[in-house]
Structure formats: C-alpha cells, structure tokens
C-alpha cells in the first residue's frame, strides 16, 4: 500500500488539497501500478510559524 506524506505551509483551500490528493494518487498508480483504492495520501498543514526558510519563519517572511 503506497503511502505519501505531503508537508505544506497552511493556507491551502479544500479544493487545492483535493487536487493534491487526486494527482498524487494518480502519480502513484501510474508509477508503481498500485490500485487507487490502496493509495493513501496524508497532507500535513504546518503552521507558518513552524516552517523555517533560511533561518526565518515563513510567517516572518510573509509567506
């Protein structure tokens, strides 16, 4: 059972997350031949203050 974990800075819409889940699922189906029903996708919404870029939080950078 393929299992994909996706880490993203918070703020994506439900529609965007749905698209990520659909496209990652299809990519795994295409790449390894897994049945779609066996693919799992877990999106981690990371708070901006918990995501660092070059020593500064994404929140401080206005991301």
Query: Of the residues 2, 35, 36, 47, which is catalytic?
Result: 2
Catalytic-residue membership of 2:
yes
Fold of 3-61: Macrophage Migration Inhibitory Factor (3.30.429)
pLDDT tens readout for residues 1-57: 999 999 999 999 999 999 999 999 999 999 999 999 999 999 999 999 999 999 999
Residue 24: the pLDDT is 98
Residue 51: Cβ within 10 Å count: 17
Whole-angstrom Cα Rg for the chain:
14
In the chain, the N- to C-terminal Cα span, in Å, equals: 34
Domain ranges of the chain: 3-61
- Report the predicted TM-score, pTM, of the whole model to 2 decimal places: 0.88
Judge whether 50 and 57 are in contact, CB under 8 Å. Answer: yes
In this structure, is the dihedral angle defined by the CA atoms of residues 20, 25, 26 and 28, taken in order, positive or negative? positive
What pLDDT, on a 0 to 100 scale, did the predictor assign at position 12? Answer: 96
Confidence of residue 60 (pLDDT cuts 50, 70, 90): very high
């Amino acid at each position: 059972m393929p299992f994909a974990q996706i880490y993203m800075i918070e703020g994506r819409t439900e529609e965007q997350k749905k698209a990520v889940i659909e496209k990652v699922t299809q990519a795994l189906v295409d790449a390894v031949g897994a049945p779609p029903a066996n693919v799992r996708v877990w999106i981690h919404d990371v708070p901006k203050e918990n995501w660092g870029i070059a020593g500064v939080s994404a929140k401080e950078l206005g991301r």
